[in-house]
Amino acid sequence: MSKEKRDYYEVLGVDKNASADDIKKAYRKLALKYHPDRNKGDKEAEEKFKEANEAYEVLSDDEKRRNYDQFGHAGVDGQGFGGFGGGAGFGGFEDIFSDIFGGGFGGFGGFGGSAGSARRGPSRGADMRINLHLSFKEAVFGTTKKIKIKRREACTHCHGTGAKDGSGVKTCDRCGGTGQVTMRRQTAFGMMAQTTVCDKCHGEGKIIEEPCDYCHGSGLEERERTIEIKIPAGVNNDSVLPLRGQGHAGANGGGKGDILVYMSIAADPLFSREGDDIYLDMPITFSQAALGGNVDVPLVDGTTKKIKIPEGTQTGKIFRMRGMGVPNVNGYGKGDQYVTVKIETPQKLNKHQRELLKKFDDSLESKNKQRGSSFWNKVKEAFQ
């Protein structure tokens, strides 16, 4: 008489409303506890392990779980636990067994699985980082720079093979050129395969009989090169210019990495910048501010452009010069130039000039003094 099956939720010790994650955690705990490799010769542990596997195989599959919830064991016995060949819930088993075997669990040879390849093929070369210093105007208008770099390239003595001329390269006799070795073990499920990188050829699949004297078998050498970098107009301190395929050479015939050029922009004594906009503090005389008129404003390209100053302009007034800023680095037009007026107060006046200014001040109508009067009225109110 066959033994009556226990409820699968009871087997895993979870509630019937348990989430898929809770079911997986419960199974992981039982699998680690009762795995035959940890309980050699313990028949009871082996039975509990099989029971947990059977429960998890059903409850980890949405369709099987629905059938089980509706019909009990009768709903799933026809498609009962038969190994991993069907693939249902396979990813969960692989994750859990990787814990048991400490990672590197490459496949399940006895259950229709196949060991994954661990051979190291061509690998892309490393990227290089360069910090490039530019003047303010070089960043605004773009420029071309020539710089010297040191990068790893294919060894010119062995042509990148890593082997001394004439010595050749042979196939690794331990892994047969695959770059991996497979260990098989008998478990409660049958034969299982664990695949790891070959420790003799380190995953290369080949053995260099006599390494190159110059590169010591790496196939790479460091060389100094002069490269030309074209800096587009509009770069800023946060700009990074990638030079594709100009970095370090890759291993085993892999492509070159990139050069990443990070911009560092010097300050300008006259102009400042935010994004694509230029900012300038423009000094004007007292009479220019009072009378108004046209003034020449310097531009970042070295030229000037006239703007009109209205009568009675106050210090701090900002004028916008559209399209006079920095070209957008992505080609989306140009920014603007903002000019902030700074009125210069005369410091050294002769007697005649002082008399003229005093007469001028006395001649001002009350409406021209309202601003000052209003200010002092506010001061008096604040201290009353």
What per-residue confidence (pLDDT) applies to 384? 55
Q: Which of 32, 89, 36, 85 is nearest to 59 (CA)?
A: 89
Q: Is residue 261 included in any domain, yes or no?
A: no
Q: Is 384 annotated as a binding residue?
A: no
Instruction: Kindly state the tokens that stand for 160.
Output: 């990148």
Query: How far is 263 from 266, CA to CA, in rounded Å?
Result: 10
Q: Is 201 annotated as a binding residue?
A: yes
Q: Is 375 annotated as a binding residue?
A: no
- Residue labelled with tokens 């001028």: 360
Q: Is residue 341 included in any domain, yes or no?
A: yes
User: For the chain, how far is it from start to end, CA to CA, in angstroms?
Assistant: 106
DSSP 217-280: TSSEEEEEEEEEEEEPTT--TT-EEEETT-SPPPBTTPPP--EEEEEEEPP-SSEEEETTEEEE
Q: Is residue 259 included in any domain, yes or no?
A: no
Q: Is 198 annotated as a binding residue?
A: yes
Last residue of one domain, picked from the residues 72, 107, 128: 72
For residue 361, the surrounding DSSP H or E stretch is helix 351-363
| Cβ burial, residue 77 (10 Å; 0-12/13-18/19+) | middle
Q: Is residue 65 included in any domain, yes or no?
A: yes
CATH number of the structural domain spanning residue 367 = 2.60.260.20
Last residue of one domain, picked from the residues 18, 49, 72: 72
Instruction: Please give the DSSP secondary-structure letter assigned to residue 123.
Output: B
Q: What is the mean pLDDT of each run of 10 residues along the chain (384 residues)?
A: 76 91 89 81 87 90 84 64 38 50 42 40 85 96 95 88 78 84 71 78 80 85 94 92 92 86 95 96 92 94 94 95 94 95 89 87 66 60 62
Q: Is 299 annotated as a binding residue?
A: no
Q: Is 298 annotated as a binding residue?
A: no
Q: Is residue 146 included in any domain, yes or no?
A: no
* Tens digits of residue pLDDT in 239-255: 999 999 999 998 777 88
Last residue of one domain, picked from the residues 55, 72, 89: 72
Q: Is 344 annotated as a binding residue?
A: no
Q: Which backbone phi and psi does 24 adopt, to 5 degrees?
A: -65, -40
Q: Is residue 45 included in any domain, yes or no?
A: yes
Instruction: Please give the DSSP secondary-structure letter assigned to residue 193.
Output: E
What per-residue confidence (pLDDT) applies to 337? 97
Query: How far is 300 from 321, CA to CA, in rounded Å?
Result: 12
Crossing angle between the packed helical segments 43-59 and 20-34, to the nearest 10 degrees: 160
What per-residue confidence (pLDDT) applies to 119? 42
* Tens digits of residue pLDDT in 120-176: 567 888 999 999 999 999 999 999 999 999 999 998 888 888 888 767 788 888 888
Q: Is residue 312 included in any domain, yes or no?
A: yes
Q: Rounded to 5 degrees, what angle do the CA atoms 37, 38, 40 make?
A: 65
Q: Which backbone phi and psi does 151 adopt, to 5 degrees?
A: -140, 160
Q: Is residue 206 included in any domain, yes or no?
A: no
Our count of domains for the chain comes to: 2
Q: Which backbone phi and psi does 194 adopt, to 5 degrees?
A: -120, 125
Q: Is 20 annotated as a binding residue?
A: no
Q: Which residues span the domain enclosing 318?
A: 268-383
CATH number of the structural domain spanning residue 65 = 1.10.287.110
What per-residue confidence (pLDDT) applies to 89? 39
Contact 27, 57 (CB under 8 A): no
Contact 163, 204 (CB under 8 A): no
Contact 247, 296 (CB under 8 A): no
For residue 153, the surrounding DSSP H or E stretch is strand 143-154
